[in-house]
Amino acid sequence: MIFTAIFSGFKKAALLLGFIVIGLFAAVSAQAQVTSATDPKTEIKSSLTELSNLYKSEVERLEKRHEQSQQLFNDGLISRVDLEKGEKELGDARAKVEQITKEIAAVNQPAPVLTPDVVASLAAVGNQVWSTGNAKIDNLIRYYGGQYGVDPFLIYCTMAQESSFTTAATSPKGAQGLMQLMPDTAARYGVTNSYDVAQNIKGGTRYLKDLLKMFNGRVDLALAGYNAGEGAVMKYGNTIPPYTETRNYVRLILKRYNTRKQVS
């Protein structure tokens, strides 16, 4: 009887310990879920901060190079043209830092109050929901789309066709990243790392914005320019160039993009 009582006591203690352990695991799991839930603003700010750090590093590098160039100029070893070229590069790099600082400040602004009109507008476009499957990419598409006046859904459709949302995508021709930026296009828009998600989306969105402006809002021509280059579109009298790849590219993106409009 004594042994039975002791055994029963151990059994109860073991069960109690099991419940405690399970409770601890549940608490840790719940805490992990809370920690992993990241505010969209925080993700965007984090991406912009990473970009800002890259720009600041570039400014520091150019400042050191400019100091050296200034000394070489004073010694008569380089021309004023070379010196002024370095000064311009440094000025452009500093301007990028200022711009990204303003963008970070804008993200920190409180969200606007949702008036009844705004709520009604949001309800009207409820069927425009889309996702790349990555919250950070979705947020950056919406952010830069809003900043540069490009429909985020158009950016999404273009990205789907370009890379299928693969950040490390590289084409045989050398296009890189989510928006498949060619090296010269990346350089045009200040993208120093085409595989950086924020830089890539920002550069691709700015390119789309310029193409839409160039072709008077014609989405088909902007897409043709994105694929074949704006020069090819202008060469054929502001029409879609007669390239099979380009025509299929435009057709497929417009099919996806216009589906939303048909159900609106």
Residues known to be catalytic: 162
Asked whether the beta carbons of 219 and 257 are under 8 A apart, the reply is yes
**CA-to-CA separations, 19 to 2, 13, 182, in angstroms, rounded:** 26, 10, 58
Query: How far is residue 196 CA from its own chain's centroid?
Result: 8
User: Within a 10 A sphere around the Cβ of 208, how many other Cβ atoms?
Assistant: 25
Torsion from C-alpha of 64, 66, 69, 70, nearest 10 degrees: -110
